[in-house]
Amino acid sequence: MTDTVPAGAAPPRCDVALPLLSLGMLLDVRPGDAASTPYIRSDPELRDETKRRVDAIRANRRAIGIAWAGAAHHLNDRRRSIPPALLAPLFALPGVAWFSLQQGPREPLIADVPGAGSLTRLPADAQWPDTAALIDALDAIVTVDTSIAHLAGALGKAVHVMLPFAPDWRWGVTGTSTPWYPTARLFRQPAIGDWPAVIAEICDALRDG
């Protein structure tokens, strides 16, 4: 039997208590043991419907999704989210149809970015299944370290993750790959706050296919 305990409430009596993030140590999980992907799937009907809409927009271009900000209340948000204006070089890439995966109060800020006028934006009332179906219908994803990165990785989608100089522990401190998501490629700031270098590197990667 599993109980749900509200935040701040005392846990029920039990024989053993273990923090969730200690399970890996207890089970002796190693980097090579990470689950294969995809381990979640979008709704087939919703995905097929979304793919038809994406294909009608892309017009023989690559369809790439983008998310530039996480939740503003996150303690590390000022480091992990990107000012939308810095994304302009991405929107200047030829042969790419861009689709926004961004939601929330910072989504409208993209309207002022050069080249973003052709960005296809999510409906304001889009739900998590809608986002998953859109990710599944796209060719690749470019995102900061937010839920979109994890959703794309879990769906087995090629995802370019833009990381701050001191990233969340789950991404490690070096390297361009992660055992959590075999389809992810990590792009790290070479210095604190150096998002332009990350954007330039992603531009090169997308030009190379």
Residue 87 lies in a domain: yes
In the numeric block, which tokens belong to residue 77?
A: 């948000």
* Per-residue pLDDT tens over the stretch 177-194: 998 899 999 999 999 999
Quick one: pLDDT at residue 34?
A: 65
Q: Give the C-alpha separation, 10 to 8, whole Å.
A: 7
- Look at residue 10 and tell me if it is in a domain: no
pLDDT digits (tens, 9 = 90+) for 32-41: 666 677 999 9
| Chain segment 139-167, per-residue pLDDT in tens | 999 999 999 999 999 999 999 999 999 99
Residue 7 lies in a domain: no
| Tokens 């299944």 found at | 129
| Burial category of 206 from C-beta neighbours within 10 Å (exposed 0-12, middle 13-18, buried 19 and up) | middle
Q: Is the residue at 109 inside a domain?
A: yes
The domain total for the chain is 1
Is 51 among the domain residues? yes
Asked whether residue 76 is assigned to any structural domain, the reply reads yes
In a domain, 17, yes or no: no
- Whole-prediction pTM: 0.87
Angle (deg, nearest 10), helices 44-58 and 128-137? 50
Residue 90 lies in a domain: yes
Range of the domain at 98: 43-207
